[in-house]
Amino acid sequence: MNIQQALQLASHKLSDSSPSAMLDAQVLLTHILQCNTAHLMAWPETELDERQASHYLMLVQQRQQGSPVAHLTGQREFWSLDFFVNDCTLIPRPETETLVDFILDRFSDKQNLKVLDMGTGTGAIAIAIASERPDWTIFASDFSPEALELAMKNSKAHQTESITFIRSDWFEDITSSDFDIIISNPPYIADSDPHLQEGDVRFEPRSALIAGKTGMDDIMHLCLHARAFLKKNGWLILEHGYNQKQQVADCFTLNRYDGIKQVQDLSGHTRMTAGRNA
Ligand SMILES: C[S@@+](CC[C@H](N)C(=O)[O-])C[C@H]1O[C@@H](n2cnc3c(N)ncnc32)[C@H](O)[C@@H]1O
């Protein structure tokens, strides 16, 4: 089997189970061959050896059964950085880059800010910010020891080892109360949401996804408690669901944040709310 045949075979096999069959086939094959997509295009007649072919077919079969591509390759790109991923936390999503963009746009590298990324998961947000603002003081927390281990591995790979990782159930073990920015992409899906039965989320831990009956439990908790850990005029910045715009704005208002801003992701959905500790 050569590269072209391998891609055709997999995109055919995956056409019913994946919305991005050819892309999935390419990512899996670049992973097996340790090359980039340009190589696949340039050398379609290169033969896979027996070991490569059987490994590839095994991954295609797992993908057919629903496993996320990122779990099969162990990697996902976020903010143009490669992150190790596994099934202990969320696979970083492109919409979360909206939060990183907002921070870099708004806060210049002239200031030395103290930032806390809560529910850091793979460390995606904290590491992306640290890679752009190496002089900032960055903390990242999660209640999952496995997620923290993964985040520390990613931090080492991206040489952002100045990030301090803390195991904490939200604010329970956070001892500083002078953050300039608290940022989080918390769980925000309602426990009965039918999307939980579809796509990659079926393979991600429920503790990274679900926040009670309405999906608002963790957002409400963060809104209520973050002010005690922020400096005056410090910012709370949260990602949320595309359909939670009004509820989250109300939650920020109720908890007396001011200067509330809501930002859309690249698909035009409002996915981020920020407010200042007045
Ligand atoms: C939606 S994922 C976000 C992961 C990562 N920040 C990202 O954007 O890709 C939510 C994260 O919050 C963590 N988490 C859930 N409940 C938590 C709690 N009570 N305290 C701390 N972290 C929590 C989960 O372990 C998970 O890593």
| Domain boundary assignment for the chain | 3-66, 75-277
> Ligand 1 atom 27: the closest Cα is on which residue?
121
Q: What is the pLDDT of residue 57?
A: 97
User: Token digits for 51?
Assistant: 């070991």
Q: Report helix, strand or coil for 57.
A: helix
Percentage, residues of the chain above pLDDT 90: 97
Q: Residue 278's CB: how many other CB atoms inside 10 A?
A: 10
Please state, rounded to an integer, the average pLDDT across all residues of the chain.
Answer: 96
**Over the stretch 149-208, which tens digit does the pLDDT of each residue have?**
999 999 999 999 899 999 999 999 999 999 999 999 999 999 999 999 999 999 999 999
Are 150 and 89 in contact by the 8 Å Cβ rule? The answer is yes
What letter does residue 107 receive in the DSSP assignment?
S
Residue 111's pLDDT band, with cuts at 50, 70 and 90, is confident
To which H or E segment does residue 9 belong? Answer: helix 3-14
- What pLDDT score does 63 carry? 97
Nearest CA among 141, 107, 112 for reference residue 225: 141
Q: Which two tokens stand for residue 202?
A: 């079926």
The pLDDT score that the predictor gives to residue 108 is: 85
C-alpha distances out from residue 262 to 163, 232, 257, 259, 271, Å: 27, 20, 13, 10, 8
* Region label for 212, one of left (φ > 0), alpha (ψ between -120 and 50) or beta (otherwise): left
pLDDT in tens, 30-81: 999 999 999 999 999 999 999 999 999 999 999 999 999 999 999 999 999 9
Which DSSP state fits 253? Answer: H
Q: Enter the pTM of the model.
A: 0.95
pLDDT tens-place string over residues 230-272: 999 999 999 999 999 999 999 999 999 999 999 999 899 999 9
Q: Which of 103, 142, 200 to mutate to test the pocket of ligand 1 (most atoms within 8 A of CB)?
A: 142
DSSP letters, 63-90, are HHTT--HHHHHTEEEETTEEEE--TTSP
Cα separation of 70 and 82, whole Å?
11
Asked whether residue 110 carries a pLDDT value surpassing 80, the answer given is no
Split at pLDDT 50, 70, 90, the class of 102 is very high
Asked if pLDDT for residue 92 goes beyond 80, the answer is yes
Burial of 104 (0-12, 13-18, 19+ CB in 10 A): middle
Collect all residues with Cβ–Cβ distance below 8 Å to 56 and sequence separation of at least 6.
6, 10, 28, 29, 32, 48
CATH class, 3-66 region: mainly alpha
Q: Ligand 1: residues within 6 Å at CB? A: 89-90, 92, 96, 119-122, 124-125, 142-144, 147, 169-170, 185-187, 207-208
Q: Please give the distance, rounded to the nearest whole angstrom, from the Cα atom of residue 84 to the centre of ligand 1.
A: 16
pLDDT, one tens digit per residue, over 73-89 is 999 999 999 999 999 99
Q: What is the mean pLDDT of residues 109-135?
A: 95
Report the distance separating Cα 217 and Cα 121, nearest Å.
18
Distance CA 210, CA 255 (A): 22
Nearest ligand 1 atom, CA 96: 8
Banded pLDDT at 217 (limits 50, 70, 90): very high
Measured in Å, residue 271 CA sits from the centre of ligand 1 at 16
* Among 122, 66, 65, CA closest to 92: 122
Q: Is residue 7 scored above 90 in pLDDT? A: yes
Q: What fold is seen in the domain 75-277?
A: Rossmann fold (3.40.50)
